[in-house]
Structure 1
Amino acid sequence: MRKLILSTACLLLWLFTGCSSSTSIHSEPAPGFGLSTYRQFAFMDVDTDLEKTGRDYQGHVHFLKQELARQLELRGLKQAPTTEEADLLINLGIVVDRQVQTRETDIISDPPRYIGQRRYTWQSREVEVGRYSVGTVSVHLVDPVQNELVWQGTAERVISDKPEKLREQIEKGIERLVSEIPS
């Protein structure tokens, strides 16, 4: 009975920690940087490597730019028509990495069924149990006059394969990332 309760508790703990994927945010401003000193922003070009990934993320990149522009406009900046007119440039970096989730078999939880042979051996091994994608967005704010990086931030999380869920994740992640930019 104790073993059943312990197994159930471990399973529930694993489910709550494994399924609660949250966005990991890191930001680093330059000394003395404040967003309020800038008026207009523009995006630098984003190149995607379709041949390497095999997937076209251009629609998601466009949505990500729209959401970033919306959040910056809420903070008082305007989007400039060209990069020459902007006093703040935004460089985006996007990485989507496909991961394999595995578990290790062991003698305690997966005992062998038949032990009657003398030369029988048991080896633990990795068993694939699923695949998932990890998305990382890095945002670099560059002052074009000084040609210096004034703020950098990254957001990373397990992303959904469903487009509507992915858009929701992008909205929440960009909102949290932009809130880290000092005023």
Structure 2
Amino acid sequence: MKKLFFIPVVFFIMTSCSSVRVNYDYDKKVDFKPYKTYAFLKSGIDKVEISDLDKKRIMHAIDDALSAKGFTKSESPDLLINFFTKEREQVDVNQFSAGWGYGWGYGWNPYFWGGNTYVNRYTEGTLYIDLIDAKKKELIWQGEGEGALTKDTDRKDEVIKEFVTKILEQYPPQKK
């Protein structure tokens, strides 16, 4: 008779900092083809409750993403760009246990050995980017990106650029 042994394997489930989930919504009556120029809506961006350095990082990332799509910054723009943010603390608790011994059923298993509990705390943020028709002063498109943030100043540019790039990949919307 062969004895069955279980080898404990612990899988570390970690939230990937590179995972940004995106959604968008838009006015389905708008033709997006004529929009070629943009400017930032300073009055809206001034109200965002993040550091001025992070505001600059977001604006630079938006500039890069829009210029890659053929847009130009202008004093008399077709689009006004606004953004705002939200953040919240997240806690993931993962508990792993493993053991080995003789079958299932009644009785106490002296060969059972416990597992571990892993607690991962991180800040999750949401970045909203609004595109507003400059002439009508109406919101025509809104993108939202949600994911883990970093406090590492060396990685902030990279994380913000990823958020902005993934959000603006959805613009202009593809009508079905």
Fold match by TM threshold 0.5: yes
Q: 2:113 corresponds to which residue?
A: none
Residue deviations 1:24-60, cap 9 Å, x none? 10011221445431122111132244xxxxxx62201
Q: 1:38 corresponds to which residue?
A: 35
Residue deviations 1:124-171, cap 9 Å, x none? xxx993431111100110112222211110001011110122211111
Letter in 2 for 1:19: T
The reply on whether 1:95 has 2:86 as its aligned counterpart is: yes
SS in 2 for 1:37: coil
Separation in 1, partners of 2:81, 2:71: 12
SS in 1 for 2:85: strand
Segments of structure 1 that go 5 or more residues without pairing to the other structure are 50-55, 110-126
Q: Please tell me the root mean square deviation across aligned C-alpha atoms, in Å.
A: 2.5
Separation in 2, partners of 1:32, 1:75: 22
User: Going by fraction, where is helix more abundant, 1 or 2?
Assistant: 1
Contact conserved, 1:33 with 1:182, CA < 8 A, in 2? no
User: Going by fraction, where is strand more abundant, 1 or 2?
Assistant: 2
The reply on whether 1:19 has 2:15 as its aligned counterpart is: yes
Separation in 2, partners of 1:100, 1:172: 23
Are the structure 2 counterparts of residues 96 and 161 from structure 1 closer, same or farther at C-alpha, using a change threshold of 3 Å? same
Q: Runs ≥4 in structure 1, deviation > 6 angstroms?
A: none
Separation in 2, partners of 1:151, 1:64: 18
Letter in 2 for 1:148: E
The reply on whether 1:154 has 2:174 as its aligned counterpart is: no
Q: 1:68 corresponds to which residue?
A: 62
Give the deviation of 1:172 after TM superposition.
1.7
Farther-moved stretch of structure 1 (143-152 vs 25-34): 25-34
Are the structure 2 counterparts of residues 34 and 180 from structure 1 closer, same or farther at C-alpha, using a change threshold of 3 Å? farther
Are the structure 2 counterparts of residues 76 and 33 from structure 1 closer, same or farther at C-alpha, using a change threshold of 3 Å? farther
Aligned match of 2:134 in 121, 138, 144? 144
Separation in 1, partners of 2:88, 2:15: 18
Letter in 2 for 1:94: T
Contact conserved, 1:33 with 1:151, CA < 8 A, in 2? no
Contact conserved, 2:87 with 2:126, CA < 8 A, in 1? yes
Letter in 2 for 1:163: T
Aligned match of 1:28 in 25, 37, 50? 25
Q: Number of aligned residue pairs: give it.
A: 147
The reply on whether 1:86 has 2:77 as its aligned counterpart is: yes
Segments of structure 2 that go 5 or more residues without pairing to the other structure are 99-116
Are the structure 2 counterparts of residues 34 and 176 from structure 1 closer, same or farther at C-alpha, using a change threshold of 3 Å? farther
Separation in 1, partners of 2:94, 2:15: 16
